[in-house]
């Protein structure tokens, strides 16, 4: 089958290490004319594809970045729009597809290429905390009203979901993480394991497990992923384990 000359690939590059990028993502990035992305993500992959044409832009330029990728593809180029983790999870896949739909560009081949997202990357480093139902919630209030996020945190905590917190804090934003932890402290046992992964599969990686009562919100930043266990999660030698239930005869459920 002939490969279309113009195409848009929306590619999740994984958490940051070359070993965590999928073969499909690698093939897509090697096939394109240019790679469009946020400065920080371009810096991560530039060494992997030294001959590629990169178009980088700073944070908060997401709309412009996605539009440029779409317009270049419509003009006849093969373009990759990259994001960390999985481009469809808190990423630019939705935005890029919205732009394609607004332009009614039905003739443009668009391929969303999945990647290893922060939740699964952090979970692997922590052991097996996502063995049962879980929720992923971003604490950034830039794109979601904080009141909405609070409702979701309350619901996840009350429903006993293992909960992964993305974008937990920054130098100027810490109250949201403090509020989130207090919500879970009202609903969970103080000995509930909490995992903290900093810079998963990147330089400066740090991995730690403590209890919900002992968790220090001051230790987290924008490169952190926090995993709060549920009522069945336990820890062993610095690893978190959330049983799926196989040993209770639930494997056929």
Encode pLDDT of 163-220 as tens digits: 999 999 988 889 999 999 999 999 999 999 999 999 999 999 999 999 999 999 999 9
The last residue of a domain, from among 94, 116, 138: 116
CA 85/CA 98 separation, integer angstroms: 20
Number of domains in the chain: 2
- Whether 87 contacts 35, CB under 8 Å: no
Query: What's the pLDDT at 172?
Result: 84
When pLDDT is averaged across residues 133-150 and rounded to a whole number, the result is 96
Residue that the structure tokens 């070993």 belong to:
19
Query: What's the pLDDT at 170?
Result: 87
**100 with 133, same domain?**
no
Q: How far is CA 93 from the centre of its chain?
A: 12
Containing domain of residue 65, as a range?
A: 7-116
**137 with 231, same domain?**
yes
- Whether 232 contacts 250, CB under 8 Å: no
**103 with 144, same domain?**
no
Contacts for 156 with CB less than 8 Å, ≥ 6 apart? 135, 137, 163
**145 with 186, same domain?**
yes
**135 with 162, same domain?**
yes
Dihedral of the alpha carbons of 179, 182, 183, 188, in degrees to the nearest 10: 160
Instruction: Show the tokens assigned to 50.
Output: 């030294």
CATH code for position 110: 3.40.1010.10
User: Distance between the two ends of the chain, CA-based, in angstroms?
Assistant: 41
pTM score:
0.92
What does the pLDDT look like over 63-111, one tens digit per residue?
999 999 999 999 999 999 999 999 999 999 999 999 999 999 999 999 9
Instruction: Show the tokens assigned to 94.
Output: 């939705």
Pairing of strands 7-12, 53-57: unpaired
| Within-domain flag for 2 | no
What does the pLDDT look like over 229-247, one tens digit per residue?
999 999 999 999 999 988 7
| Within-domain flag for 25 | yes
What does the pLDDT look like over 23-68, one tens digit per residue?
999 999 999 999 999 999 999 899 899 888 999 999 889 999 999 9
The last residue of a domain, from among 116, 150, 176: 116
**127 with 47, same domain?**
no
| Within-domain flag for 252 | no
**14 with 101, same domain?**
yes
């Amino acid at each position: 089958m002939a490969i279309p000359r113009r195409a848009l690939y929306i590619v999740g590059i994984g958490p940051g290490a070359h070993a965590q990028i999928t073969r499909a993502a690698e093939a897509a990035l090697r096939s394109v004319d240019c790679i469009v992305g946020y400065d920080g993500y371009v810096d991560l992959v530039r060494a992997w594809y030294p001959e590629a044409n990169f178009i980088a832009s700073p944070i908060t330029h997401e709309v412009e970045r996605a539009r440029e990728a779409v317009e270049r593809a419509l003009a006849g180029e093969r373009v990759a729009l990259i994001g960390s983790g999985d481009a469809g999870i808190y990423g630019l896949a939705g935005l890029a597809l919205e732009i394609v739909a607004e332009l009614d560009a039905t003739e443009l081949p668009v391929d969303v290429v999945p990647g290893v997202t922060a939740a699964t990357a952090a979970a692997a480093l922590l052991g097996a905390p996502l063995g049962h139902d879980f929720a992923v919630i971003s604490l950034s209030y830039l794109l979601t009203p904080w009141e909405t996020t609070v409702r979701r945190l309350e619901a996840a905590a009350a429903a006993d979901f293992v909960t992964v917190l993305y974008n937990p804090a920054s130098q100027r934003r810490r109250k949201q993480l403090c509020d989130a932890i207090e919500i879970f402290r009202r609903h969970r046992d103080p000995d509930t394991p909490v995992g903290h992964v900093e810079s998963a599969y990147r330089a400066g990686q740090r991995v730690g497990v403590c209890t919900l009562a002992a968790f220090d919100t001051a230790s987290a930043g924008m490169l952190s992923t926090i995993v709060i266990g549920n009522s069945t999660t336990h820890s062993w030698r610095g690893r978190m384990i959330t049983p799926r239930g196989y040993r209770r005869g639930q494997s056929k459920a």
